[in-house]
């Protein structure tokens, strides 16, 4: 059984993230959406809140599990019995950052491979950072996120 781990802060989960998970669910036997924390990113939602939103948004996918984690990604991947990490690429800037992560993850766990998927063209411009900013100023984010996420973001503002 091939398992892939799709990590991120999902702050919030966007339609771009959902697109990648749906496509990965058609490729792999098991997809674990690993909702993590980041020392470099401020999070307005709790880890538990982000996990719950991801579970709600992805509930239609039978082979997808959502888990929170607060350790090194490579340790989490090993603990889940996986050896694949899925990452999304939208821009050249994403590639540069992701390439650094691949190198570091290889140094920490050479047995774990990273694969990349690009979101559908009409979703490539969506980022959690932009969605948060739009929501902060009272803008309409309904085209970029699941309705549950839009409601949760409105409650936080």
**Residues known to be catalytic:** 17, 41, 90, 128
**Distance in angstroms (rounded) separating the CA atoms of residues 128 and 82:** 26
Sheet with 84-88, side-by-side order of all strands: 64-69, 30-36, 3-8, 84-88, 113-117
Closest CA to 65 of 54, 76, 75: 54
Sign of torsion over alpha carbons 58, 62, 68, 72: negative
Q: Before 85, cis peptide (omega within 30)?
A: no
Helices 47-57, 147-156: inter-axial angle, 10-degree rounding? 150
């Amino acid at each position: 059984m091939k398992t892939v781990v799709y990590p991120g802060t999902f702050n919030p989960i966007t339609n771009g993230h959902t697109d990648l998970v749906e496509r990965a669910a058609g490729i792999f036997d098991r997809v674990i959406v690993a909702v993590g924390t980041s020392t470099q990113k401020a999070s307005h939602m709790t880890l538990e809140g982000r996990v719950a939103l991801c579970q709600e948004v992805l509930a239609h996918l039978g082979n997808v599990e959502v888990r929170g984690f607060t350790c090194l990604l490579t340790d989490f991947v090993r603990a889940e019995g996986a050896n694949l990490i899925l990452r999304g690429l939208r821009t050249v800037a994403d590639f540069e950052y992701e390439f650094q992560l691949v190198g570091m993850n290889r140094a920490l766990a050479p047995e774990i491979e990273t694969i990349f998927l690009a979101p559908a063209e009409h979703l490539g411009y969506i980022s959690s950072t932009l969605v948060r900013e739009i929501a902060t100023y009272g803008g309409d984010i309904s085209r970029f996120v699941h309705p549950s996420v839009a409601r949760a973001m409105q409650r936080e503002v």
